[in-house]
Amino acid sequence: MEDNKNNKKSMFQQVFKSQLSKKLSAAMVLVSFFSFLLIGVTNVSYAAVTPIPEDTGLGDSFTTAEAGTEVFGGSFPVFMYSTSTGIPIFCLERDIEFTDGTTMDKKEQITDQGLLYVMANTFPHYKFKDATGKEFPDEVQTWITQVAIWEYLYETGDEYNQTGAGQVANIEAVKTVPLIYWGASPDYHECDVNGCRDTMTGATSATTFYQQYIAPIVANAKKSDVSANGSITMSIANQEISVTDDEKYYQTALVTVGTTGTNPDNLVDGSLKVTVKNAPKGTILVDEEGKEIKDTTGVQKFYVRIPVDSVTEEAKVVQLSATGTFRGYDGYYYRADGAQTVSTVFTNDVPSTTGLEIPINYTPDVPDTGMTVAQSIYFIGLVVLLCGVGIIYANAKPKERQQ
């Protein structure tokens, strides 16, 4: 039995030391390596933010998830809220409690351009960075974003964002926050504008998050011409009207169509179009060479020509319209009984329209034929002189005959 064991052991050792054994070992290493890669690729990272679906956003309704991490900015805490599918959402009524497990229904569209601007220029559409250029963790991104939304609504007088008593911290407290922190040992984190650390060292910079990130966004959002999207503009060089060489048309000064706003370059190709909404019969648009523009798609410079015979007291105004579509941001309020209103903005095609009215007041240039006072005196003097010469000449003739 012992010899048998020795023989078996010897055979095992021989196989182990053989080339086949080496090949099998190498194969096992490769299989293990690729299995590791496959696991790394297929595993879902729960730290990643779920993207907001383009064109649909949060849909017609969604269910709120349980409140996430509580992030502290001094004495002003902010919770990370999301839908049950992981899409970040933000609160718009600070004085009302957030409720989880609640179905929120899509209500009216957000038309407050300032609010759209704040949400379009914050997390998750825009990532804030520290002084070294590194993106902050989602916890910091969320705190800055939620505070910026509440600060804007507070400064613009929204009725649900004014309270500072009881359980609701005064919004003014955010202006003195140099340090944001969350978690507990051994999973503690803190950040200031210089960066983030996993140890309780305190702020290394006196600059507050409000100064560095929030105040500029809110200031821009409060401007009268703010827009989260681009907009179409149309203007005319002046109100002068001329007549064409063939005297058949009145012609306006140069009309220019352009874009302005936060994202003027996001104009959807082929969407810009000019139309004549109302004008005397036969009105046309011409380019800078005088050729008629029949397809106004994408046109940005033109003149308006109006037939002279069509202009009457009842028809002497031209009304133009310019439309375009921008790839921008849209959003809706989501509400439920007894719950705080929430929202997030999403990428969508947003139309823009503008108009221009041109009065046709043509006054031809008439040469000035009026005389100055000096010219009048000179003319009268000349007439008097000629009359005097005539009288003298008339009197002189009879005397010649008498002689």
* Whole-angstrom distance, CA of residue 156 vs CA of residue 196: 32
Look at residue 338 in the predicted model and tell me its pLDDT.
Answer: 92
Q: What is the dihedral of CA 343, 345, 348, 353, to 10 degrees?
A: 90
Render pLDDT for 96-114 as a digit per residue (tens, 0 to 9). Answer: 999 999 999 999 999 999 9
Token output for 171: 């919004």
Render pLDDT for 51-60 as a digit per residue (tens, 0 to 9). Answer: 999 989 999 9
Tally of CB atoms within 10 A around 251 = 16
Q: Which residue has the tokens 């019969």?
A: 281
For range 152-176, the mean pLDDT: 86
Contacts 24+ apart (CB under 8 A), 334-339: 334/58, 334/61, 334/62, 334/89, 334/104, 334/105, 334/106, 334/107, 335/104, 335/105, 335/107, 336/99, 336/102, 336/103, 336/104, 336/105, 338/99, 339/64, 339/96, 339/97, 339/98, 339/99, 339/102, 339/104
Look at residue 219 in the predicted model and tell me its pLDDT.
Answer: 98
Q: Which residue has the tokens 């020795």?
A: 6
Q: What is the DSSP letter of 133?
A: S
Look at residue 40 in the predicted model and tell me its pLDDT.
Answer: 36
Token output for 357: 């009215």
Beta partners for residue 236, in sequence order? 255
For range 234-247, the mean pLDDT: 96
Predicted confidence band at 363 (pLDDT cuts at 50, 70, 90)? low
Q: Looking at the predicted structure, is the pLDDT value of residue 287 above 70?
A: yes
For range 203-207, the mean pLDDT: 96
Question: Terminal CA-to-CA distance of the chain, rounded, Å?
Answer: 189
Token output for 288: 């800078």
Token output for 242: 């001329």
Token output for 322: 């310019």
Q: Looking at the predicted structure, is the pLDDT value of residue 16 above 60?
A: no
